[in-house]
Amino acid sequence: MNTNQKLQFIGAGSAFSVQNFQSNAVLTAANGKRLLIDFGGYVPLSLAAAGLTIYDIDAIYGSHLHADHVGGGEYLALRTKFDPRFVDSNGAKRSLRLFMHSSIRAAFWQMLRNGCVLPGKKSELEDFFKVESCEDSFEWEGTRFTLVRTTHCMDGDQPMPCFGLTWNSGEKVIWFSSDTVFETDRVQHLMDGADVIFHDCETSPFPTGVHAHYKQLVTWPEEVKAKVHAYHYNDGDKPDCVKDGFAGWVNVGEVFEL
């Protein structure tokens, strides 16, 4: 049984937020180990604001290659590589476990490559992280996480995917969307079957078209909206989402007992 998980949003803002950090979260397993779900460029600051440091993190998951989700990759790589105090419980040097869909790992390494150099060798991603198998799903601390592939935006005529997550915490089904356009066909089973939904929600009056916008999510059936905690919002005023039937806005630093 995977009970007593906690999910803390160390940020809940959009890519352009300067007030709410970035939409990254820390999942704490029942045994106390922590998985950092997405790690944008603000991650040193947002971890600190949440009372955490890099020493508290066991593993990281990157959902897609926007900077508000993986822009902290170079920091994490170098910070953990060169710190002799980054060790396991036996005092042995460790690396962060990295979960990321195999289709985007090479491009992720290209983002890091120029900064992550090592004397005397041609460096590779595995020099900095313990790269774990991650295709349709992965396992971490007794929990199986299933990747939810959605369309985030178009890259020319090709869809740029994002890989949200769904998993079970005890009897509950959790769905964490990460970044996705508003779509229902592909995620209908999660709209119906998830017990707790964390969904990105753009609030800008000038929609980018790469996120579910509040005006779209508000059209969901009442029984679905009642499960939705909305995050990845813009700085500034937001609608009264509880009045509109949602579970609520995710506050920066908020902890959910799953």
**Site for Zn ion, rule CB under 5 A:** 15, 66, 68, 179
Nearer to Zn ion, 58 or 68 (CB): 68
Nearer to Zn ion, 15 or 77 (CB): 15
Instruction: Quote the least distance from Cβ 75 to Zn ion, whole Å.
Output: 17
Nearer to Zn ion, 131 or 162 (CB): 162
Distance CA 169, CA 3 (A): 6
Q: Which two tokens stand for residue 17?
A: 């937020």
Instruction: Quote the least distance from Cβ 243 to Zn ion, whole Å.
Output: 26
Distance CA 183, CA 4 (A): 31
Instruction: Quote the least distance from Cβ 8 to Zn ion, whole Å.
Output: 18
Whether the CA torsion 7, 12, 14, 16 is positive or negative: it is negative
Instruction: Quote the least distance from Cβ 232 to Zn ion, whole Å.
Output: 6
Instruction: Quote the least distance from Cβ 95 to Zn ion, whole Å.
Output: 25
Nearer to Zn ion, 62 or 140 (CB): 62
Nearer to Zn ion, 67 or 173 (CB): 67
Place of tokens 């601390």: 141
Nearer to Zn ion, 58 or 179 (CB): 179
**Counting Cβ atoms within 10 Å, is residue 69 exposed (0-12), middle (13-18) or buried (19+)?**
buried
Nearer to Zn ion, 53 or 110 (CB): 110
Instruction: Quote the least distance from Cβ 179 to Zn ion, whole Å.
Output: 4
Instruction: Quote the least distance from Cβ 9 to Zn ion, whole Å.
Output: 13
